[in-house]
């Protein structure tokens, strides 16, 4: 199986106030990379078409096997089921799984951001209850931020949580809730105080069971015929006090802290990687100068993007919150992975293999979502502009 060899040094760059350094990968990186590759080979379902879009393939059984290897919650304390490994070691495992096109979505959100959110802001009881199950690949989370009719203006959410004896009554709706039809919980951003002049005040986060009374999940079918996106309706859902994450009213700060985890990883530029792999196979031995130039151009972009992304992982390792740098990685990376299938489509030979065609078609159908999920292109450019002092 072809994987992302990455046998090059990360590339550093500097853009005004954004700093991307070139951290060295940890000792034992090559051995860890090979270990992941061997695991994927041994646990591969031959009937599954590899897809490096993290949002596409899911297998609860595969996620549980990863948990048994200690590859979920890798950076978390061992007391909560983690492995106390570095962010850069986690990065190696993540990019190898994506490059191989493994079915990782079941545990993805819980590992990437729900777990770190609870680790940073959750109560001791929440950490003890959820983190070991997440690390074992047995508990899956969704994100409950976006709402109908609010567009990308997250501060304008209307889902409310009214304080009652022993907890909160939640009413409202969340949309684009990936995986809600299969996952166990969703962490919802809700309004616990009436809107005020400070649009970011009065917001909180709560953990809601996706099987709880009053929760209705409706799939949203996309152009590929799949329903990984959902709308979640919350009608008088009771949330006990112990499911409030952090302090009431601190929701905006907590959400912002999640975004560096959500926006900077290799999933933000590797979603179309399998198309590049199959394109290289398709033209091997017969490539025209134009096809060779395109392949070189795509690989050069990957090298630069990976260097930026690894740099953000290093910042997270150092305890920093590189929200602006992460936004830049996401914006440039999403633009790249959205462009890949279009460029390759125009450059392929007249006769192609079924495998290549299936891979390309799958990517083309999912590509419109690449620049939407995790924050739209317009929102990312606004964040970048503020970081550069342009607005």
- Contacts (Cβ under 8 Å, ≥6 apart) of 85: 70, 74, 75
User: What is residue 58's DSSP assignment?
Assistant: B
Q: What average pLDDT score do residues 80-104 get? A: 93
The pLDDT assigned to 27 comes to 79
Q: Where are the domains of the chain?
A: 14-140, 143-250, 254-387
The pLDDT assigned to 207 comes to 98
Judged by average pLDDT, the poorest of 242-246, 272-276, 347-351 is 347-351
N- to C-terminal Cα separation, the chain:
47
Judged by average pLDDT, the poorest of 39-48, 52-61, 376-385 is 376-385
Does position 387 have pLDDT exceeding 80, yes or no? no
The pLDDT assigned to 24 comes to 64
Does position 341 have pLDDT exceeding 80, yes or no? yes
Q: How would residue 252 be classed by pLDDT, with cut points 50, 70 and 90?
A: very high
Of all residues in the chain, what percent are helix, strand and coil, respectively (each to 5)? 45, 15, 40
pTM: 0.86
Residue range 254-387 in CATH 1.20.1730.10: no
The pLDDT assigned to 75 comes to 94
CATH homologous superfamily of 14-140: Acyl-CoA dehydrogenase/oxidase, N-terminal domain (1.10.540.10)
State the chain's mean pLDDT as an integer. 87
User: pLDDT tens digit string along 163-198?
Assistant: 999 999 999 999 989 999 999 999 999 999 988 889
Q: How would residue 11 be classed by pLDDT, with cut points 50, 70 and 90?
A: very low
Q: What average pLDDT score do residues 113-123 get? A: 95
143-250 and 254-387: identical CATH topology: no
Distances (CA, A) of 111 to 72, 164, 257, 265: 6, 32, 15, 12
Provide DSSP, 312-370. HHHHHHTT---HHHHHHHHHHHHHHHHHHHHHHHHHS-SS--HHHHHHHHHHHHHGGGT
Q: What average pLDDT score do residues 131-151 get? A: 93
- Residue scoring higher pLDDT (78 or 153): 78
The pLDDT assigned to 21 comes to 53
Does position 16 have pLDDT exceeding 60, yes or no? no
Q: How would residue 260 be classed by pLDDT, with cut points 50, 70 and 90?
A: low
| Per-residue tokens: 52 | 């490096």
- Residue scoring higher pLDDT (295 or 319): 295
The pLDDT assigned to 52 comes to 87
* Residue 111 main-chain phi, psi, to 5 deg: -75, -45
Does position 3 have pLDDT exceeding 70, yes or no? no
Judged by average pLDDT, the poorest of 45-59, 214-228, 367-381 is 367-381
The pLDDT assigned to 378 comes to 78
Does position 92 have pLDDT exceeding 80, yes or no? yes
| Residue 92 near residue 309, CB atoms below 8 Å | no
The pLDDT assigned to 29 comes to 87
Q: What average pLDDT score do residues 289-296 get? A: 96
Q: How would residue 12 be classed by pLDDT, with cut points 50, 70 and 90?
A: very low
Judged by average pLDDT, the poorest of 12-21, 157-166, 188-197 is 12-21
- The CATH class of the 143-250 domain is mainly beta
């Amino acid at each position: 199986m072809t994987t992302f060899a990455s046998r090059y040094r990360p590339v550093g760059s500097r853009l005004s106030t954004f700093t991307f350094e070139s951290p060295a990968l940890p000792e034992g990186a090559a051995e860890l990379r090979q270990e992941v590759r061997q695991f994927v080979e041994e646990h591969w379902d031959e009937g599954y078409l590899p897809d490096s879009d993290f949002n596409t393939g899911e297998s609860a059984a595969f996620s549980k096997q990863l948990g048994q290897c200690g590859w979920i919650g890798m950076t978390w304390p061992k007391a909560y089921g983690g492995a106390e490994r570095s962010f850069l070691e986690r990065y190696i495992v993540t990019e190898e799984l994506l490059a191989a096109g493994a079915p990782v979505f079941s545990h993805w959100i819980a590992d990437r951001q729900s777990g770190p959110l609870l680790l940073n802001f959750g109560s001791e009881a929440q950490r003890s209850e959820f983190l070991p199950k997440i690390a074992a690949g047995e508990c899956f989370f969704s994100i409950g931020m976006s709402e109908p009719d609010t567009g990308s203006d997250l501060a304008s959410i209307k889902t409310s949580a009214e304080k009652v004896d022993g907890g909160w009554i939640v009413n409202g709706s969340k949309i684009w809730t990936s995986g809600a039809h299969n996952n166990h919980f969703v962490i919802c951003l809700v309004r616990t105080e009436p809107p005020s002049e400070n649009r970011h005040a009065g917001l909180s986060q709560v953990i809601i069971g996706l099987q709880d009374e009053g929760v209705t999940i409706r799939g949203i079918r996309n152009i590929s015929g799949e329903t990984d996106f959902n709308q979640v309706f919350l009608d008088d859902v009771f949330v006990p006090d112990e499911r409030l994450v952090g302090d009431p009213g601190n929701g905006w700060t907590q959400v912002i802290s999640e975004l560096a985890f959500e926006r900077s990883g290799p999933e933000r530029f590797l979603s179309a990687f399998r198309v590049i792999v199959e394109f290289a196979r398709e033209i091997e031995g017969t490539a025209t100068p134009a096809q060779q130039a395109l392949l070189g151009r795509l690989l050069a972009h990957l090298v630069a993007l990976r260097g930026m992304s690894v740099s953000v992982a290093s910042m997270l390792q150092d305890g920093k919150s590189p929200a602006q740098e992460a936004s830049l990685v996401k914006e440039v990376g999403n633009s790249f992975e959205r462009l890949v299938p279009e460029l390759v489509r125009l450059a392929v030979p007249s006769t192609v293999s079924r495998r290549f065609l299936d891979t390309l078609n799958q990517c083309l159908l999912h590509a419109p979502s690449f620049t939407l999920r995790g924050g739209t292109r317009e929102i990312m450019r606004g964040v970048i502009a503020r970081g550069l002092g342009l607005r």
